[in-house]
Structure 1
Amino acid sequence: MTAIKLGIVGVGKIATDQHLPAIAANGDFHLLASASRNASIDGLPGFTSIDEMLARQPEIEAVALCMPPQHRYQAAHAALTAGKHVFMEKPPGATLSEVADLEKLAQAKGVTLFASWHSRHAPAVQVMKSFLAKHAPSKVEVIWKEDVRHWHPGQEWIWEAGGLGVFDPGINALSIVTEILPNAMFLKSGVLEFPANRDAPIAADLRFTDATGLAVHAAFDWRQTGKQSWEINVATGAGELRMADGGAKLWIDGVAQELPEEGEYPSLYRHFASLVKNGQSDVDLSPLRHVADAFMLGKRKEVEAFDS
Structure 2
Amino acid sequence: MSIDIAIIGVGKIARDQHVPAINGNKAFRLVATASRSGGIENTENFDTIEALLAARSDVSAVSLCMPPQVRFAAAVAAIRAGRHVMLEKPPGATIAEVRALATLAREAGVTLFATWHSRHADGVAPAKAWLAERTIRKVRIDWMEDVREWHPGQAWIWQAGGLGVFDTGINALSILTEILPFPVHLAKADLSFPSNCDTPIAVTLDFAAPENAEVGAVFDWRHEGDPVWNITVETSEGVLRLRNGGAVMEIDGETQTLEDVGEYPGLYARFADLLAQGASDVDDTPLVHVADAFMLGRRVAVEPFTE
Task: Report if TM-score (shorter chain) is over 0.5.
Answer: yes
Residue 262 (1) aligns with residue 283 (2) = no
Distance apart, 1:212 and its partner CA = 2.4
SS at match of 2:63: strand
The aligned counterpart of 1:231 is: 230
Residue 295 (1) aligns with residue 274 (2) = no
Letter of the structure 2 residue corresponding to residue 104 of structure 1: T
In structure 2, distance between residues paired with 1:32 and 1:243 = 37
Which 4+ residue blocks in structure 1 deviate beyond 6 angstroms? none
Alignment of 1:73-92 (within 5 A): 73-92=72-91
SS at match of 1:5: strand
Distance apart, 1:299 and its partner CA = 0.3
Distance apart, 1:213 and its partner CA = 2.3
Letter of the structure 2 residue corresponding to residue 70 of structure 1: Q
Deviations 1:123-153, CA, capped at 9 Å, x for gaps: 1111111111100210000000011111111
Letter of the structure 1 residue corresponding to residue 200 of structure 2: P
More displaced 10-residue stretch of structure 1: 86-95 or 245-254? 245-254
Unaligned runs of 5+ in 2: none
In structure 1, distance between residues paired with 2:132 and 2:81 = 41
The aligned counterpart of 1:175 is: 174
The aligned counterpart of 2:101 is: 102
The aligned counterpart of 1:122 is: 121
Q: TM-score, normalised by structure 2?
A: 0.99
SS at match of 1:172: helix
Unaligned runs of 5+ in 1: none
The aligned counterpart of 2:154 is: 155
Alignment of 1:9-88 (within 5 A): 9-88=8-87
In structure 2, distance between residues paired with 1:130 and 1:44 = 41
Count of paired positions: 307
Letter of the structure 2 residue corresponding to residue 73 of structure 1: F
Q: TM-score, normalised by structure 1?
A: 0.99
Percent identity, aligned pairs only, is 55
Distance apart, 1:211 and its partner CA = 3.0
In structure 2, distance between residues paired with 1:255 and 1:238 = 14
In structure 2, distance between residues paired with 1:140 and 1:267 = 26
Letter of the structure 2 residue corresponding to residue 92 of structure 1: P
The aligned counterpart of 2:210 is: 211
The aligned counterpart of 1:145 is: 144
In structure 2, distance between residues paired with 1:153 and 1:251 = 32
Distance apart, 1:253 and its partner CA = 1.6
The aligned counterpart of 1:201 is: 200
SS at match of 1:134: coil
Letter of the structure 2 residue corresponding to residue 191 of structure 1: D
